[in-house]
Amino acid sequence: MPDANTKPNTYRNYSEASLTRVLESSKDRVEPPCPVFLQCSGCQFQHLAYEAQLTWKRRYLLRQLEWLGDAEFVDALVRPVVPSPRQYGYRRKVTPHLQMPPPTGSKPRRLERSSKGWVSAASERRDLSGEDGSDWGDLALGPLGYLEQVARERTPNGHWWKRVVDVTTCPVATDAINAALPEARDHVRARRGPFSLLLRHTEHDGVTSERGRVVRENVPGIGRFFFRAGGFFQSNLSILPALVHHVVDAATAQWADGGGADDGPEVLVDAYCGVGLFSLAAGVRVRRVIGLELDKDAVRLAKRNAAAHGTQNATFLPLSVEEGLEGLAAMANPSSTSMVIDPPRAGLSDVALGALLAFGPRRITYVSCDCSTQSRDLRSITAAGYSVAKVTPFDMFPQSNHIEVVAVLERSAGVA
């Protein structure tokens, strides 16, 4: 914010800064409810009024899309941010972790599971299971939470090192998770691990820390979905129905150059489909749905969800998006196909992007939690003959600097 003094740490190609004092309070500055907000990296915007958060996020998105055209054109293309009905107490999955020992070599230290417990994967491996008198017992009794925002100390070899900020309660997590957190913290310490803790909350199953457990969640207006507690499923249920309806409406709408009442997609391809959230919500809109997902457990659960929804026109394939797209021409006509892609934060790989453009669906609805990698991919897709029809941001993560963005692209006329 423009009302503060900061103290920076400079790294090889970027800097981080911590707040030292507020010179003159901005009209948008509010008192953060979290007592460790200024130290913890979990949230970035608790000090910013919610309307100002939405303004900042849209402004950042506009900067990412400047390459599309002049400022007036891009401003008209990007819709206002869809706000989250809940700004606190919305997060249904948290993964706090214990403090790791500082790295001793040239590479940061990480932990790996072994038959003896959790061991260091750095150059000097040592048992951290607590069974050999090592310092794992001290680590287990230390802070449990998230990394501090800015590193405040250096290791002997000169690297900046971030400590874990102890988080005893989290205002963005649901009340049920906060109620379960103290017992979960005691459990981790009593067992001397694991290094990272999972707390997943669903209305049906309550709070669980078992990563492999299959849980159920009802998405209002969409239906019930089974998924693994440690797997991917959107954690802000308050805004999820709006996101799903928007994606499905955009993906299954009539073609931009069509005229007839039924002139829309016949096939919907859901790449990175997970347990079938978008696929099954769109099933009644198209003749056929094809879901691509590398995680075989997720595919199994997608099929289970399809049966629970009574959806019979959905096919889920346990393939990577790269593999699935390469064979897609045998199952669908690109001219009658609409594709939803919801890749990881890193965006599309070069191989996946090449396979997507080689297939050439008539419409692409690109969902992303990182608008910078999405913008990078949109450049390549538009260069191949697509035009961006609209961009809609959703505030899936209030109090953070993250934003979910849905971009709809139409294949230009004459592009084969």
pLDDT value for 411: 92
User: pLDDT band for position 139 (50/70/90)?
Assistant: low
pLDDT value for 118: 39
Q: Which residue has the tokens 């009658």?
A: 336
pLDDT value for 126: 36
d(CA 388, CA 396): 22
Residues 60-84: what's their mean pLDDT? 97
pLDDT value for 150: 79
Is the pLDDT confidence value at 108 over 80?
no
Most confident among 7-16, 20-29, 161-170, 401-410 (mean pLDDT): 401-410
Q: Average pLDDT of the chain?
A: 86
- Per residue in 168-196, pLDDT (tens digit) is 999 999 999 999 999 988 887 776 656 78
Which residues face 4 on adjacent strands? Answer: 22
Report DSSP state, residue 173. B
d(CA 291, CA 319): 9
pTM of the model: 0.87
- β-strands 164-166, 160-161 pairing: unpaired
Is the pLDDT confidence value at 124 over 50?
no
User: pLDDT band for position 129 (50/70/90)?
Assistant: very low
pLDDT value for 190: 74
Residues 57-67: what's their mean pLDDT? 97
- Residues 6 or more apart from 383 whose CB is under 8 A from it? none
pLDDT value for 131: 38
The residue count of the chain comes to 416
Is the pLDDT confidence value at 21 over 90?
no
pLDDT value for 196: 81
**Considering the chain, what percentage of its residues have pLDDT values greater than 90?**
70
pLDDT value for 141: 64
Q: Which of 100-109, 142-151, 152-161, 259-268 has the lowest mean pLDDT?
A: 100-109
pLDDT value for 189: 73
Question: Do 398 and 53 meet the contact criterion of CB atoms below 8 Å apart?
Answer: yes
Question: Do 44 and 29 meet the contact criterion of CB atoms below 8 Å apart?
Answer: no
SS3 60: helix
- Per residue in 328-386, pLDDT (tens digit) is 989 999 999 999 999 999 999 999 999 999 999 999 999 999 999 999 999 999 999 99
Measure Cα distances from 92 to 25, 33, 203 in Å: 33, 19, 10
Higher pLDDT, 260 or 100: 100
Residues 39-56: what's their mean pLDDT? 96
pLDDT value for 415: 64
- Per residue in 293-334, pLDDT (tens digit) is 999 999 999 999 999 999 999 999 999 999 999 889 899 999
d(CA 173, CA 235): 10
pLDDT value for 135: 44
**Considering the chain, what percentage of its residues have pLDDT values greater than 70?**
82
Question: Do 207 and 199 meet the contact criterion of CB atoms below 8 Å apart?
Answer: yes
User: pLDDT band for position 11 (50/70/90)?
Assistant: low
Residues 132-154: what's their mean pLDDT? 67
User: pLDDT band for position 121 (50/70/90)?
Assistant: very low
pLDDT value for 142: 74
